[in-house]
Amino acid sequence: MPRPNERSPSALRELTFLRGFTRPAPGSVLVKMGRTTVLCTCCVEPKVPDFLVGKGKGWLTAEYGMLPGSTNTRKPRDKAGKVDGRSVEIQRLIGRSLRAVVDLDKLGERTLWIDCDVLEADGGTRTASITGAFVAAVDAVNSIRALLTVPVSEVLTDSVAAVSVGLVDGEERLDLEYVEDRDADVDMNLVMTGSGKIIEVQGSGEEATFSRKQLDALVDLGEAGIRTITAEQKKVLGNTWPF
């Protein structure tokens, strides 16, 4: 199975960011990774969850959803009383990934609310969400920099980006799109910082297995992809890049 559009196994799809896509949230970024389209907003709430009240520390929480029209077969909305296990997993991942680069002690008693809503799903929605959410978070933190006691670069300690890699027909490929993801033997998501540290690695063979050597090759491929994505984040943020 060759890649769609003759893409090379180690090539990313086209990546674009539209900052300020909507107005109410101080961070609002429409990120597109090929056809995958996610609206990432970041709001700042001047309070923290109960378990943190009075500790002088902030919090970051993330939620993820897919619009019903985002998939080829319409995806029903979550009904009251039902739960989508996949969405729960993804929003926990996005939250952990962003918190790894936020110094919550320096944020003050505030909550950053990250919302990633998928307008079109063509594979890699969770990694595009993380990548876009970081850009939205930079815009949101910048919007309150007058209220902070430290520079933005001390609240955000590093950048964060994510990418998927996978084994398709025995071949290691970067940034799977939907038709590849559906048939992949192994699907891995890698979240890393701009400085090259790993935040999260999740590799899974659904009804399949993989060798240690393949694990190593997939991580190599993902690391290279994240370097490119980080460069794109830096470009779109221009002089608001904090580091």
Binding-site annotation, residues: 86, 124-126
Binding segment (CB under 8 A) for a copy of itself, from list 80-88, 148-156, 169-177, 229-237: 80-88
- With CB under 8 A as the contact rule, the residue among 7, 154, 205, 236 that binds a copy of itself is 205
Largest CA distance in the chain: 57
Phi then psi dihedrals of residue 21, to 5 deg? -65, -40
Q: Per-residue x/- marks for a copy of itself, 170-199, CB under 8 A? A: -----------------------x--xxxx
For residue 114, what are the β-bridge partners? Answer: 42, 62
Distance CA 206, CA 7 (A): 25
- Sites for a copy of itself among residues 91-120 (CB under 8 A): 91-92, 96, 99-100, 104, 113, 115, 117, 119-120
Nearer to a copy of itself, 2 or 85 (CB): 85
Q: Applying CB under 8 A, which of residues 10, 18, 65, 240 lies at the interface with a copy of itself?
A: 65
Helix (H, G, I), strand (E, B) or coil at 57: coil
Tokens read off for 134: 């970081």
Listed in sequence order, the residues at least 6 apart from 34 whose beta carbon sits closer than 8 Å to its beta carbon are 13, 14, 122, 123, 124, 175, 177
Comparing CB distances to a copy of itself, the nearer of 53 and 235 is: 53
54 binds a copy of itself (CB under 8 A): no
Question: Measured between alpha carbons, how far is residue 208 from residues 126, 163, 185, 216 in Å?
Answer: 22, 21, 6, 17
Question: Which residue among 35, 47, 182, 235 contacts a copy of itself (CB under 8 A)?
Answer: 35
Question: Among 11-19, 32-40, 161-169, 226-234, which window interacts with a copy of itself (CB under 8 A)?
Answer: 32-40
Token pair for 99? 């918190």
Residue 38: both structure tokens together:
């996610």
Strand duo 111-120 + 15-19: pairing: unpaired
* Tokens describing residue 16: 């674009």
Residues in contact with a copy of itself by the rule CB under 8 A? 21-25, 28, 35, 37, 39, 41-43, 45, 63, 65, 67-72, 74, 77-83, 85-86, 88-89, 91-92, 96, 99-100, 104, 113, 115, 117, 119-121, 158, 193, 196-212, 215-216, 219, 223
